[in-house]
Amino acid sequence: MSTKIISTPENLQVLYEDNHLIAVNKRAGDIVQGDKTGDTPLSEVVKQYIKTKHNKPGNVYLGVAHRLDRPTTGIVVFAKTSKALPRLNKLFAEKDAQKTYWAVVNKMPEKENGTLIHWLKRNTKQNKSYGHKNEVPDSKKAILDYKVIKSLDRYFLLEIDLKTGRHHQIRAQLAAIGCSIKGDLKYGSDRSNKDGSIHLHARSLSFVHPVKKEMLKIIAPPPEDSVWDACT
């Protein structure tokens, strides 16, 4: 397996920045917040970027409002002020942000577009969620809309609008209909990607700016590889 490309203060892909927010394009090797691996989280990389770029003395404030799974790429928004963070948190908690994802899958869904509804049950030991057609104990309802936007030789590009925010939701729901995401061994792909990524990308995010009250739409280019390149 080749080494994962991770973000550093020098190569950080900043998609949007103002006094209150900063949005970056997360790479597959980045972890949003610190965990047991001890790897430097993206939040610390962004802090260092802000400190250097703006010559800030002392500690830099940065609030984490949402996360992406480690092998997933795309938009992550951080709050730069204590005023913006609770408002961002509320926005994501109340599903007032429109999140659109791109997923490259190994099989064409039965319909070119549709709505998937499953009951997801999380297995914390496996760090995995399982999709069920009917409600089971301790499950949560998961809903997404999808459409096929491109057919490649061996893969299909889906555009996905999340209606709920569940653990590994897109990965689990697509696996439940037999359409595993490229590279996602945990959810049924037959092989991994060399860099440890999966072909799931947080493509766009639209929301009302928590301070300026203006509509904001952020779009992230997918990583550069032959399959993503064929999608765009």
DSSP H helices in 148-220:
169-176
Q: Give the containing element (helix H, strand E) for 86.
A: helix 84-93
Task: Tokens for 90, please give them.
Answer: 């509320």
**Nearest to 70, CA basis, from 36, 21, 97:** 36
- Distance from the Cα of residue 79 to its chain's centroid: 17
**Residues involved in catalysis:** 69
Which residue is associated with the tokens 């010559």? Answer: 55
C-alpha–C-alpha distance, residues 17 and 20, integer Å: 8
d(CA 32, CA 20): 19
In whole angstroms, give the CA distance from residue 41 to residue 23: 15
How many Cβ atoms are within 10 Å of 195's Cβ, its own excluded? 17
